[in-house]
Amino acid sequence: MPVSAPQDAAVRTERPERPGPVLDRALQIIGAFTPDRRALTLSDLARHAGLPVSTVHRMATRLVAWGALERDQAGRYTIGLRLWEIGSLAPRGLGLRERALPYLEDLSQVTRENVQLAVREGIELVFVERIAGSRAVPVLTRVGGRFALTATGVGLVLLAHAPAEVQEEVLARPITRYTALTMTDPHRIRAALAEARARGYAVSDRQVTMDALSVAVPIHDTQGEVIAALSLVVRHGTAQPRTLAPLLRTSARAISRAISRA
């Protein structure tokens, strides 16, 4: 009669848990890059991706061959142009930007101030375009960058017109404070959202930096839904929101018409 193997031996010979799918690991590697981590060595890439070095080396080699990553002379990895090419196909990115850009440029030439275009992505905003005036106040934003919905003018517009469940999720989370004047009280933010809906524009006064004032208005699609927000960011004390809002509304209406003709 054959002797059965001890139970602990069966445990020892059990196959290890299978690693995650190849796509999941590839996304972990790509997701390791951030605005503060644009170039990573193999060991850094493995650490931030949470994967073994051998796995990252194998996957990174394939990603470089495809064009999703690039490798410089020092052996550091960066995001490849192929990802930028594919990302530019997003209709809420390049498509919106292409239709809006002539009007953004006109607004920039008239005001000589920072002009920004943003869309909502989940509970954050993403800047689709930014045109900086030659003598405009410095801003913390960049094209493709994400930001909180509660601090900027465009963020307040997008949040004001977001579904109720999105508003509740945003206000239930910790709210980042950028300056001493940043609104972090959910009750104050709700009031600001109601005011933005009532008057048709939102104001962010020194909430991101102490020298900047932002005024923003919504951009609508053919169904009247708010799909983006347009803003001017000026140096605090140089202009009043009520004087900037009409300029923004004119540009926003033109962009909305351009979208409807597409």
One-letter amino acid at 187 equals H
Q: Residue 153 is which amino acid?
A: G
Q: Which single residue is written with the structure tokens 């708010």? A: 226
pLDDT in tens, 19-43: 458 888 898 999 898 878 889 999 9
Question: Running DSSP on this structure, what letter comes out for residue 112?
Answer: -
Cα 166 versus chain centre, distance = 16
Under 8 Å between Cβ of 141 and 147: yes
Confirm if 174 and 247 have CB atoms less than 8 A apart: no
Mean pLDDT of 220-244: 93
Contact 232, 245 (CB under 8 A): no
**Domain finish residue from 44, 66, 86:** 86
Q: Quick check: is 2 in a domain?
A: no
Domain that holds residue 34: 7-86
CATH number assigned to the domain comprising residue 60: 1.10.10.10
Query: Number of C-alpha atoms within 13 angstroms, CB side, residue 261?
Result: 9
CA–CA distance, 261 with 159 (Å, rounded to integer): 26
Our count of domains for the chain comes to: 2
Check if the beta carbon of residue 217 is closer than 8 Å to that of residue 249: yes
Q: Examine the domain organization and report whether 120 and 76 are in the same domain.
A: no
Per residue in 36-91, pLDDT (tens digit) is 888 999 999 999 999 999 999 999 999 999 999 999 989 999 988 888 777 766 65
Q: Percentage of the chain with pLDDT > 70? A: 89
